[in-house]
Amino acid sequence: MTVVLASGEIVDIRRGEYVSSDDGVIVIGARSIKAPTYERPNVRKNASGYFNATPLDAIDLFIGSEGTLGVITEIELSLLDRPEGFFSGIAFFEQEVDLLAFVDEIRRHSLASRECRQAADTPTIDATLIEYFDANALKFIAEKFPETPDAAGAIFFEQETTANTEDTLFEQWNDLLEKHNADLERSWFTTNEQDREKMRAFRHALPLAANERYSRSGFRKISTDMAVPVEMFRSLLKLYEEQCGPSGIDHVIFGHIGDCHLHLNLFPKDSGENERARHIYGRCIAHAIMLGGCISAEHGIVKLKRKYLAAMMGERYLNEMAEIKRAFDPKGILGRGNMFDESYL
């Protein structure tokens, strides 16, 4: 990537060129940057604070820095090969316990090491996405897709296939769906590009409809973006359900269940519900932190979530982030107030 720093200096950073030494220092030109000492939460998605690893590559430090370290003007990417084929499905379930067991087993297969799968030389379940819709979300989507059945929840999944693997994989998926009591008669499956696009439209109809609902109500929707470790996921989902059910506030729960990262959207209709929704959001944040998760998995921190980042990371680690920012932006002119309060600078 090409980055313009606050001084106007242009820096080209290629992966592997600027990597921290054994004592955690990255040297870029005349700058010596001390890598943070904090450990990142053990989650699959995390957009909370500056990236860290041992060793730390400078390119990863800039990715997700939200414009606080420099202005990225050019990025060179490598692309994945287009898959030869695919199998997509939206499976509906009458019982949440069956749905969650289904997801657990897909996740176990999909997160297994690629070396083990290659050694076995046998195609196996390896989902490229696993998306969740709760019962409220399905009712919401039914406004635009009236063919949506009533169900406790649904899972949208996809897997890449080839001519040599598709028969074996179809059989494995069918066995897994039957094992976990999916409603096969009312579920939807396809290997057709046109039908897959309809399924993806179904998936994306929910956030669009949610935004429309919010714009009509006069109150902002309140949406979570937390992710937690795999073994803690059910605890977070249980909290979402326990907090929202008795609240009486319209809500949906949906999103990236394969990554233990769901979005709870609350739709307050008046000032009383708005206040209760904000309290629910705060309790969800606190619970995610307690479970070892992150407060923002994909949408970043900017200014709105910086107090929650402070709760997650603490003063010591925010000071380490501020030290990195001062190395690149000593006058603090970039992304002012983003991620952490300017008092840290």
pLDDT one digit per residue (tens) for the chain, 345 residues: 999 999 999 999 999 999 999 999 999 988 999 999 999 999 999 999 999 999 999 999 999 999 999 999 999 999 999 999 999 999 999 999 999 999 999 999 998 855 565 555 679 999 999 999 999 999 999 988 999 999 999 999 999 999 999 999 999 999 999 999 999 999 999 999 999 999 999 998 888 887 777 777 778 889 999 999 999 999 999 999 999 989 999 999 999 999 999 999 999 989 999 999 999 999 999 999 999 999 999 999 999 999 999 999 999 999 999 999 999 999 999 999 999 999 999
CATH 3.30.70.2190 at 83-217, yes or no: yes
User: pLDDT at position 259, please?
Assistant: 96
Give residue for tokens 């720093």: 5
The CA-based dihedral angle spanning residues 107, 109, 114, 120, taken in that order and rounded to the nearest 10 degrees: 180
Question: Side chain identity at 319, as an amino acid letter?
Answer: N
One-letter amino acid identity for 278?
R
Contact 69, 61 (CB under 8 A): yes
Find, among 264, 229, 260, 213, the residue nearest to 243 by Cα.
264
- Give the separation between CA 114 and CA 116, rounded to whole angstroms: 5
pLDDT at 113: 52
Q: What is the pLDDT of residue 114?
A: 56
Fold classified for 219-300: Alpha-Beta Plaits (3.30.70)
296 vs 73: CA distance, rounded Å = 25
* 223: phi then psi, degrees, rounded to nearest 5: -130, 130
CA angle 213, 218, 222 (to 5 degrees): 65
Q: Where are the alpha helices (DSSP H) in the chain?
A: 58-62, 96-111, 114-120, 135-142, 166-179, 193-217, 233-244, 271-290, 306-328
Asked if 155 and 90 touch (Cβ cutoff 8 Å), the reply is yes
* Cα–Cα dist 189/66, whole Å: 39
Count of CA atoms in the C-beta half-sphere (13 A) of 12: 2
Nearest to 106 by CA among 189, 179, 33: 179
Q: How far apart are CA 148 and CA 138, in angstroms?
A: 7
Residues 292, 297, 302: CA angle, nearest 5 degrees = 110
Q: Which of 293, 242, 234, 321 is nearest to 41 (CA)?
A: 293
Q: 309 is written with which tokens?
A: 């980042």
Q: Cα torsion at 11, 14, 17, 21 (round to 10°)?
A: 80
Both tokens of residue 105? 């087993």
What is d(CA 140, CA 148) in angstroms, rounded to the nearest whole number?
A: 10
| Whole-number Cα distances in Å, 219 to 207, 215, 216, 272, 275 | 16, 7, 8, 11, 11
Please give the DSSP secondary-structure letter assigned to residue 182.
B
Q: Scan for tokens 């949208």, then name that residue.
A: 156
Q: Give the pair of three-digit tokens for residue 15.
A: 């992966």
Asked if the domains at 83-217 and 219-300 fall in one CATH topology, the answer is yes
pLDDT at 121: 63
Q: Is 329 helix (H, G, I), strand (E, B) or coil?
A: coil
pLDDT of the residue at 211: 76
Q: Hey, where are the domains in the chain?
A: 2-77+315-344, 83-217, 219-300
Q: What is residue 115's predicted lDDT score, i.e. its pLDDT?
A: 53
Provide CB contacts within 8 A for 218, sequence distance 6+.
Answer: none
SS3 47: coil
